[in-house]
Copies of this chain bind each other. A is one copy, B any other.
């Protein structure tokens, strides 16, 4: 049982975690903090949090677990503000989509308290954002990646792992470097592709006609281009090197595809599409 849970940033992820733990009766009190008073009010009205605090330190004081669910660009500032109220008991964890960058900041800012900072990333979410979109079952059967460092306290890690499993998720651990490299391709690159496609269409001479002709393929391919822009700016900046490597690789592969079409190389196209279809079909079966 968590006596006091503090959520910093009560949006889609923070709100869903609060709902899931409440539904599991695993938490006594949930306190929220965030930049927008309107959002906090809404979170209270929706019953997602018990109360909101307008002071970050008041929100976090004597918490068992403080969950940072803000865009990652805001985390250094939040960690700095948190530090004075941290003690030998409070566990801090985050849900950021990039881990290396957040860990560096946390190690630098938290000092000795870094041992009770448990870096985490739930692979869940939709293109929506905000507490109104939060769902108690968002993490059901979803994966949460924890990336503990050598200093990470094993009891703190176990407690965060238990929290996510009670919220319905499966937890795995890996290094932050591995996480950031893999997510650059599995998540960050697809977001770049979607944003870039929509932005190309917006600036296209045929913009209206293209949007009118947008069928299921365009819709699905670009769904995640409706994701929060600040969150994704922060991810790009925080995971810059791994993301750039993935984007450059993609660009190279896309150039090869262009070359095959230029040459009218039907055999190469068929091979590429067949290989991709095979793998994509197997992903469908897995789900």
Binding site for B on A (CB under 8 A): 123-127, 142-143, 145, 178, 181-183, 185-187, 189-202, 204, 206, 209-230, 232-233, 236-237, 240, 243-244, 247-251, 253-255, 257-258, 261-262, 264, 266, 269-270, 272-277, 279-281, 283-284, 287
Contacts and interface: CB of A to CB of B under 8 A. Distances in A.
Contacts of A195: 257, 272-273, 276-277
Contact of A229 (B194, B253, B274): B274
B248 A258 contact: yes
Given A185-B206, A226-B281, A200 B261 contact: no
B270 A227 contact: no
A187 B202 contact: no
A223 to B, nearest CB: 5
26 contacts: A123-B213, A124-B216, A145-B213, A185-B206, A186-B201, A187-B213, A187-B217, A187-B218, A194-B217, A195-B273, A195-B276, A195-B277, A196-B254, A196-B257, A199-B253, A202-B279, A220-B220, A221-B221, A225-B279, A229-B270, A233-B270, A233-B273, A236-B269, A240-B264, A250-B254, A251-B258
Given A185-B204, A226-B281, 14 more contacts: A125-B216, A126-B216, A191-B217, A198-B279, A219-B283, A219-B287, A220-B224, A221-B224, A223-B280, A228-B277, A230-B270, A232-B273, A240-B261, A251-B255
Contacts of A225: 273, 276-277, 279-280
Given A190-B197, A217-B187, A202 B276 contact: yes
A53 B178 CA distance: 57
A163 B244 CA distance: 50
A124 B278 CA distance: 22
B251 A199 contact: no
A197 B247 CA distance: 10
Task: Name which of A190, A196, A273, A281 has the most chain B CB atoms within 10 A of its CB.
Answer: A273
A228 B182 CA distance: 28
B125 A227 contact: no
Nearest to A124: B215
A195 B281 CA distance: 12
Contacts of A221: 190, 193-194, 220-221, 223-224
A281 to B, nearest CB: 5
Contact of A223 (B182, B220, B229): B220
A53 to B, nearest CB: 28
A255 B252 CA distance: 11
A227 B221 CA distance: 13
Task: Name which of A186, A227, A269 has the most chain B CB atoms within 10 A of its CB.
Answer: A186
Contacts of A201: 185-186, 279
